[in-house]
A and B are shown apart, each in its own frame.
Chain A
């Protein structure tokens, strides 16, 4: 049995007096596709942001690919990670945001090539060649010279996916990537993610309200509530036969709101 690529051990996180994560533990195997669902404020987005080092933890430990994320081992002691250690760890992880977060002053091509050129020293020609392959994969090869403001939301999000992929991370985090899109644009982004899941062995964690997609896409579903994982299992178990009352209540509300499961 291979070692988990992500090991979260009893982490806690508070924003002021509000405890978002309360002794959360979880493990993710390499190549696993995980869907994180749950009501807003349950901590599912926070755990993604913590893995991307956008939020710091108050307590606990995280291991990525066998190495501590927020700690460094020095002479057998665990010290808080410095910026250099964090930069090394970030190479393993990529993230796609709800609001795309493209660089508005750079064309699509430059959005995708900037980080490989700056952080990995890739030459422009090689970076552009790789970017074209990725843009082709997300169906936007013809938009390489376009500015972000000329694109639809769905197109922007596909560029953001290509941009994250350009750094070849082992783990990809998707934070409600279709929540800000018009309904008719959701499918084109989901299709790219299906393709990604089918064609790569990347580990993918996705926070989503698209229950139908989570059901088809994920190997495992985690239901979050009040900073804890209340229930987890295969999509069929969680969506068809949820055991916990809170999971049942949440799914009932989601279905009542018109989401397909």
Chain B
């Protein structure tokens, strides 16, 4: 049993790497989602074209391939990344492309009357976006952002392929060292599930907080 606790420590170390990747990847994904999502509704053709290209490219190619490019190909053009940097880059850009469409959809879901009120009050396009449209759109985005974050959490396991010692990687290490399959794979199953639950719960409580006052009941 003491032997197991040592291996469990190894798996928990992996879990820490997974959490780290998820957090940093999510931050990058969020930044990319807003840049590309707002870019998609820009007045300027070139901005729309850039945003669309980014979204279609990263949605249309596999996360594995993107990760291999970040880690194995970029060094050829003089950009060497650590496995963690490559992982964050690939995960953030990939999930950001999906989330950008969420941002765009949420912006478009806000009714014309809000845009018209902005015009009538002479707010500039960006002022209206920043103070009127986005705060309301954020509430629409949140549930799907929760989905995206969970997708990102699960996708972090691909980094085990570039030998980053995340949760999945450590499970395989433990399996090969102990010969036991059940213990490492059962524990990573539980850990991924608990992490996803934490994300769900966090997003839901954020949603509740932001909806406060909007329906006139909860204040």
> What residues of chain A lie closer than 8 Å to B131, measured between beta carbons?
114, 118
**CA gap between A118 and B128 in the complex, in Å:** 10
> What residues of chain A lie closer than 8 Å to B123, measured between beta carbons?
114-115, 118-119
Decide: A90 and B122 in contact? CB cutoff 8 A. yes
Within 8 A of A (CB), among B118-160: 119-125, 127, 131-132, 135-136, 139
Within the complex, the shortest CB–CB distance from A128 to chain B, in Å, comes to 16
Q: How large is the interface on B (under 10, 10 to 19, 20 to 34, 35 or more residues)?
A: 20 to 34
Decide: B119 and A119 in contact? CB cutoff 8 A. no
Within the complex, the shortest CB–CB distance from B169 to chain A, in Å, comes to 44
**Does residue B117 face the partner (Cβ distance < 8 Å to A)?**
yes
Decide: B216 and A105 in contact? CB cutoff 8 A. no
Decide: A104 and B116 in contact? CB cutoff 8 A. no
Q: Is the interface of B mostly helix, strand, loop or mixed?
A: helix
Known A149-B216, A149-B217; 10 more pairs at CB < 8 Å: A87-B124, A90-B119, A97-B117, A102-B117, A118-B124, A119-B121, A148-B216, A163-B121, A164-B121, A167-B122
Decide: A164 and B122 in contact? CB cutoff 8 A. no
Contact with A along B191-218 (1 / 0, CB 8 A): 0000000000000000000000111110
* Known contacts A103-B114, A105-B135; A52/B121 CB under 8 A: no
> What residues of chain A lie closer than 8 Å to B216, measured between beta carbons?
147-150
**CA gap between A53 and B116 in the complex, in Å:** 9
Q: Within the complex, which residue of B113, B119, B122, B127 is in contact with A99, where a contact is CB–CB below 8 Å? A: B113
When C-beta atoms are compared, the residue in chain B nearest to A102 turns out to be: B117
Within the complex, the shortest CB–CB distance from A172 to chain B, in Å, comes to 11
**Does residue A77 face the partner (Cβ distance < 8 Å to B)?**
no
Decide: B215 and A149 in contact? CB cutoff 8 A. yes
**CA gap between A105 and B120 in the complex, in Å:** 18
**Does residue B219 face the partner (Cβ distance < 8 Å to A)?**
yes
**CA gap between A91 and B135 in the complex, in Å:** 25
